[in-house]
Structure 1
Amino acid sequence: MLFSLDKNLFKRVPDLKIGIIVYENIVVGDSPSMLKGRLEYFQETVRTDLDERPVDEYEGVKEWRSIFRDLGIDPKRYRPSHEALLRRISNGKDLPFIHSAADVNNFFSLQYDMPVGIYDGHALNDYIKIRLGQEEEAMEGLNGRMNNMEGKLAGFDKRGPFGSPIVDAARTMTTTDTTNAVQIFYIPPSLPQDEAEQLLQAASNMFIQLHSGSNSIYLLDQNKTNFQHAPH
């Protein structure tokens, strides 16, 4: 499978970085008590922090709002997914426990202050390209609505858009039957390359500890806009 990042995006966001982790032969199930405990503790920590500063002042929120504006996306109308998680917590709502893959993905979004998506690898077709959506490109989202992706940053495969830093598609969602998964990190451009690589390694290590299997890590940026992934 070929992973690529559209070079035209660098005209608007020169230091854009996209992290991709491929997991194979994993076992997804109910989240262990350790992960649930860490999520609950992290949510309480966020609530305490939100008493001191609003969601708007989180560095990752400010940076991704700025990126959205640079890409021509209205951040007031379309919120980055990690901001949506923070706002849910700030409104006193707990994040629901779904399954281990989705729950640890939410944990990464909060911990690293960036949008992170995870997708069923067997539902992805042929390639993954990160680009802006074109006219009439749309996807049925996990929010239950048909989402117009024109002009929005998103991941595309042969069938069309499947995920974005705003909303993900229903057709590629992970379940307890998922054995291969692809995780996409929308990394803040301000994060240096070496720190981005360390982040991806730490995240993949934790994921493998929870799900077994194997992993491959790729970082797309101006220096390397495409990778060919060969299944293990």
Structure 2
Amino acid sequence: MKVIRTDALSQFERIGLIHYTKIQVGHSPQMLRGRLRLFQEQLFFELEDVDLQETSFANFQPSTFYDVLQNIQKENWYSLTNSAEDINLLYALQFGCPVHLVKNLQTKYVLEERALQQPLAEQVDETTTEAIQLFYFSSKLNEEECQQRLDAARQFFFQIHGGKSKAHLLYANQTVEV
């Protein structure tokens, strides 16, 4: 499969991509459930008396990630779905950026502006054995910091789902074969 990044996402200097194969998705373990709830509550208190328009999160508007932040600000907690979707939401909250998990791998996947409007996890369920995960990193992070986050995400995902993975950093107008 080819992943193609267009320059329509130029506000993100780097987009991290992790390609997972041979994974097993199931119920979230207690440790993941606890972390996810903790990060939602922490964000709620950080955003309690703040106008999201006046934060760095405004850079992600419009996006489903921005919608998630608005819901958390209103104490609308996200309930558990499955281990893959839950860990994906955890990464978005922990890293403070949109993170998308996509099951339906096609021969060509184009990263463009409308990608930010997609759900944070698309059609991921217990039958998922292969997926790509996309991290829309802030331009404040350097290449080493982005790579460190990708490595940490891969390791944690592996602990829960097993399988194999490979990470890439995508720059404007770059194509990667996964």
The TM-score, its normalising length taken from structure 2, stands at 0.89
Note the C-alpha offset of 1:63.
2.8
Q: 1:199 aligns with which of 149, 159, 163?
A: 149
Per chain length, whose mean CA-contact separation is higher, i.e. which structure has more relative contact order (CA < 8 Å, sep 6+)? Answer: 2
Task: Return the alpha-carbon distance in structure 1 between the equivalents of residues 12 and 131 of structure 2.
Answer: 26
Q: Which has the larger radius of gyration?
A: 1
Check if 1:166 corresponds to 2:117.
yes
Alignment match, 1:62: 58
Q: Quick check: 1:3–1:129 contact (8 Å CA) kept in 2?
A: yes
Cα distance per residue 1:157-214 (max 9 Å; x no partner): xxxxxxx2122399x5111110111111112223211111111111111111111111
Task: Return the alpha-carbon distance in structure 1 between the equivalents of residues 11 and 26 of structure 2.
Answer: 39
Structure 1: 4+ residue segments shifted above 6 A: none
Task: Return the alpha-carbon distance in structure 2 between the equivalents of residues 113 and 54 of structure 1.
Answer: 16
Question: What secondary structure, in the 3-state scheme, does the structure 1 residue paired with 2:116 have?
Answer: coil
Task: Return the alpha-carbon distance in structure 2 between the equivalents of residues 205 and 24 of structure 1.
Answer: 14
In structure 1, list runs of 5 or more residues that go unmatched. Answer: 66-78, 132-152, 155-163
Q: Quick check: 1:63–1:188 contact (8 Å CA) kept in 2?
A: no
Question: Higher helix fraction: Structure 1 or Structure 2?
Answer: 2
Note the C-alpha offset of 1:56.
2.8
Count of residues paired in the alignment: 178
Q: Quick check: 2:100–2:135 contact (8 Å CA) kept in 1?
A: yes
Check if 1:17 corresponds to 2:14.
yes
In structure 2, list runs of 5 or more residues that go unmatched. Answer: none
Q: CA RMSD in A?
A: 2.1
Alignment of 1:119-198 (within 5 A): 119-120=102-103, 123-131=104-112, 153-154=113-114, 164-168=115-119, 172-198=122-148
Check if 1:50 corresponds to 2:29.
no
Q: Quick check: 1:2–1:226 contact (8 Å CA) kept in 2?
A: yes
Task: Return the alpha-carbon distance in structure 2 between the equivalents of residues 25 and 166 of structure 1.
Answer: 28
Percent of aligned pairs sharing the same letter = 28
For 2:169, give the aligned amino acid. L
Question: What secondary structure, in the 3-state scheme, does the structure 2 residue paired with 1:165 have?
Answer: helix
Task: Return the alpha-carbon distance in structure 2 between the equivalents of residues 117 and 211 of structure 1.
Answer: 17
- Change in CA separation of 1:108 and 1:211 when aligned onto 2, cut-off 3 Å: same
Q: Quick check: 2:89–2:120 contact (8 Å CA) kept in 1?
A: no
The TM-score, its normalising length taken from structure 1, stands at 0.70
Q: Quick check: 1:85–1:110 contact (8 Å CA) kept in 2?
A: no
Note the C-alpha offset of 1:14.
6.6
For 1:62, give the aligned amino acid. A
Q: Quick check: 1:26–1:212 contact (8 Å CA) kept in 2?
A: yes
Task: Return the alpha-carbon distance in structure 2 between the equivalents of residues 62 and 227 of structure 1.
Answer: 29
For 1:25, give the aligned amino acid. K
For 2:63, give the aligned amino acid. P
Task: Return the alpha-carbon distance in structure 2 between the equivalents of residues 9 and 34 of structure 1.
Answer: 37
Question: What secondary structure, in the 3-state scheme, does the structure 1 residue paired with 2:75 have?
Answer: coil
